[in-house]
Amino acid sequence: MHEIEPFYKWEKYYESSRDHKSPFFGKEYNYDVYSNVIYNYYIAPGWDYMGSDTLYVKILFADYDKAFVILEFLGEWNDAINNDVMHLKRNIIDHFVGHGIKKFVLIGENVLNFHGSDDCYYEEWFEDVEDGWIAAVNFREHVMEEWGSYSIDYYINMGGNLQIEDWRTMLPQAFFQKVEQLIIRRISPAL
């Protein structure tokens, strides 16, 4: 697990520790010290703790003018025991919604498992971004199936053409535009 690092290529365009609107503003990273763990496995120091012992996040990019944020995740998304969606919603999402963010791109290729509970936080999040959307990109098939069994796919767009394998080759704005175009086609198929 310690070899799985968050995507760093966009740091020349955005760093959450330098963004005064970010929940991680002012955080100092020591890339030589591995202190955070998931199930006793050390993880790379670039991941950010959001209140959950099993799910970590990295804010890859935020654009307040276009009202979007791109988040990458690592670990096990466990709503049943750790209520990870509550930590995500209260500590990260609510913060960004308060700054006008309405569109969320979640990158989940490093989310290894999902354990569901209820959907109340997902519903609340969905209502908070009434004129926006939430997109899950590159989540593993079994994670999306579990989300579907808890009806989370009602609130989060996932699967199909949102499996964008080449996202790392794009600039953050181009990646967002691609996701947004795919979401618009889903919402308005006639376009």
Q: What is the pLDDT of residue 136?
A: 97
CATH of domain 49-187: 3.30.750.24
CB environment 107-137: b (16+ within 10 A), e (fewer):
bbbbbbebebbebebbeebbebbeebbbbbb
Confidence of residue 190 (pLDDT cuts 50, 70, 90): low
Q: Is the pLDDT of residue 149 over 90?
A: yes
Amino acid at 92: I
pLDDT mean over 164-174: 97
- The helix/strand/coil state of 89 is helix
The Cβ-side half-sphere exposure at 153, using a 13 Å CA radius, reads 15
pLDDT in tens, 10-24: 999 999 999 999 999
21/99 Cα distance (integer angstroms): 7
> pTM of this prediction?
0.95
Q: Is the pLDDT of residue 31 over 80?
A: yes
- Given a contact cutoff of 8 angstroms between Cβ atoms, the answer to whether 42 and 1 are in contact is yes
Percent of the chain with pLDDT over 90: 86
Q: What are phi and psi of 22, to 5 degrees?
A: -80, 145
Polymer length of the chain: 191
Q: Which residue has the tokens 């795919």?
A: 182
Mean predicted lDDT score pLDDT of the chain: 94
Q: What is the pLDDT of residue 12?
A: 96
184/191 Cα distance (integer angstroms): 8
Q: Which residue has the tokens 């796919």?
A: 153
Q: What is the pLDDT of residue 158?
A: 94
Rounded CA Rg of the chain: 16
Q: Is the pLDDT of residue 25 over 80?
A: yes
pLDDT in tens, 40-96: 999 999 999 999 999 999 999 999 999 999 999 999 999 998 899 999 999 999 999
Domain boundaries, the chain: 49-187
Q: Is the pLDDT of residue 189 over 70?
A: no
* Six token digits for residue 9: 């290529």
